[in-house]
Chains A and B, each alone.
Chain A
């Protein structure tokens, strides 16, 4: 599951392009397709959800992490801000990660210390921070439509998709470059490939189990395959989507010791 950050003018295009997205077969623009896919993945109103990340090695489950993610769009920058709480394993329970704008903070209730961390500090195992945070790709990447393709989804079902490439246009983008396959008509992300600055494939993600959540069908499972060692697979399962009264004051380091809601 990939998420990233945003640029305001593109969101404006995104909002303006709702009707275009609905006419997917009329070859909407690449930006419209990406923005529509963002809306499939991300509720527009403040919300929370639970994520369970399970790491598999050669098909055998190993570590798992459970997170609660609270997200809200910044009314000024139109970027998503995220507050992530570890629920399990027990040794990490209660720890928090705050991402707002370009800054990221880590809070440990044991030490009551809020430490600013870099985007590269991986806190959640094989999946990167960008994989669990709510982001609008349209704001961080320029997009280019490569064409249409029929590909197999994670369940080996054929999907008629738009194939696009995205290149980062902001320093806050989690990946330098990615490809995405978005199903025509539904605008559902089917698959993504992520690349490093050097063009090296980093991971492949498949999106599946689309079910209704907060007013739209959203992918409740993301399968992330390590492109370097394909035996490493992470499954991210989303559940318990709920609209939530997320306050703007939550998104600062001084709030972290105060956070106590589920």
Chain B
């Protein structure tokens, strides 16, 4: 193919050069040539150097380290409306079904390099909620999500010590990250259900962390202490400015990582230690040609299955009675269980990027578990505590950010400049491989200007009543969102 290109280029080259050159140069609009060079904007407050773009006469010596304050602040309003609830086989707790909600948020990420060896980070979101069946003056109306507040020391080049609330994220897949061990109980309110968006707004954990980097890799160890007892899984908002350490620091946890730049695979090996739930993990990525990137993640270790863990957690936090049976019935054995996410991204014609992933979650529901779940919950006269306990298992899985079913597919498409330069379209779907039900979302973001972005998200649950996604009473959701960068 490239040989053909060479022939074509050769023919082009043999054409009368001056005429061709004149044609090309005449394509440049005069306005483009006349426009004065634009200096790069200096959002960061920098000291110790000339203003960015102040001149093109470059210094010949390495520039001195600078003290910088970087910030990214935006205000956002998101209005959500849900489709009316329909009857489902297992009655859904009515308190969890909303008709509408409006969220107004001020979101900020600040990073200050106070000294060459010290960086301070603050990441926070302040929310005001108005929603169906709730007074504006309720305790749930205002909520602050303190995502990160940390200090990072660099005592020697390439060695970092940090402490505070830190968001540590690992993993190479998009829809499910088995090696993202600190993802549990970090969810806060989201506009989009897209996993890649959810990751942008989650809580860190209190920890101390040390990391060292070499030219060929890095190693790190993090310790997140238990500072309080765990809080129950809840869909309602905790009061006010609660930092929710009872969600992120309710157990002692240690994570070690070794990342290597080898064989074009960038392997990462992880060891995660938590009482009754220690795991090993690994993830790799590799480019395949210039349009495809393949990736795989694995984590495994001894643990109970999802149902047994949910039941134990519910009893520990008082959400379930201490004498409640494990529902749906399952073994409470602690055995080695695996999680896998593997797939690839494929960029088509430099325009649309497709992701296709397979997720295996060994401790998730089997077909038998689903049958039991529906049979128990839909039995005539099933009392609310019973159906509540069944839904609790699924709420727990969501809180842990783990799939409910053992096998699922994830498909995502992203088209950044769709039809026009300012429109980005994306869509994703989680497809259960046990019952073919689907959770999908379409989203459109229009970049009105550099400062304003308008977005719309439409999501839906599709499937028969006795399926994972079809069992939700509210099948559709529409979110309109306006973002203003400050």
Contacts and interface: CB of A to CB of B under 8 A. Distances in A.
Contacts of A113: 169, 171, 196, 199
A125 B417 contact: yes
Contacts of A233: 27-29, 32
Interface stretch (B58-66, B226-234, B240-248, B327-335): B58-66
A262 B46 contact: yes
Nearest to B288: A118
Interface string A175-210: 011110100000000010101111101001010110
Interface stretch (B13-21, B270-278, B298-306): B13-21
Interface string B48-77: 010011111111111101101010101000
Size bin of chain A's contact surface: 35 or more
B92 to A, nearest CB: 31
A7 interface: no
B291 A118 contact: yes
B40 A247 contact: no
B213 A255 contact: yes
Contacts of A150: 17-18
| Majority secondary structure of chain A interface residues (helix, strand, loop or mixed) | strand
A179 B12 contact: yes
A225 to B, nearest CB: 5
B259 A254 contact: yes
A100 B255 CA distance: 27
Contacts of A62: 421
A42 to B, nearest CB: 13
Contact of A214 (B7, B8, B58): B58
Contacts of A25: none
A220 B37 CA distance: 9
Nearest to A248: B215
B217 interface: yes
Interface in B214-265: 214-218, 220, 259, 261, 264
A119 B350 CA distance: 9
B13 A239 contact: no
Nearest to B48: A262
Most B CB contacts (10 A, CB to CB) among A54, A193, A239, A240 go to: A240
Interface in B453-486: 453, 483, 485-486
B300 to A, nearest CB: 22
A91 B485 contact: yes
A56 B21 contact: no
A258 B22 CA distance: 48
Contacts of A102: 264, 287
A247 B289 CA distance: 28
Nearest to B148: A112
B70 A94 contact: yes
Interface of B: 1-2, 4-10, 12-13, 17-18, 21-22, 24-25, 27-33, 35, 37-41, 43-44, 46, 49, 52-63, 65-66, 68, 70, 72, 74, 109, 111, 113, 119, 152, 157-158, 160, 167-169, 171-172, 174, 196, 199-201, 211, 213-218, 220, 259, 261, 264, 266, 285, 287, 289-293, 295, 345-347, 349-351, 353, 416-417, 421-422, 447, 450-451, 453, 483, 485-486
Interface of A: 46-48, 50-52, 54-56, 58-64, 66, 68, 87-91, 93-94, 100-104, 108-113, 115-122, 125, 128, 146, 149-156, 163, 165, 167-168, 171, 176-179, 181, 191, 193, 195-199, 201, 204, 206, 208-209, 211-215, 220-221, 223, 225, 230, 233, 235, 237-245, 247-249, 251-255, 258, 260-262
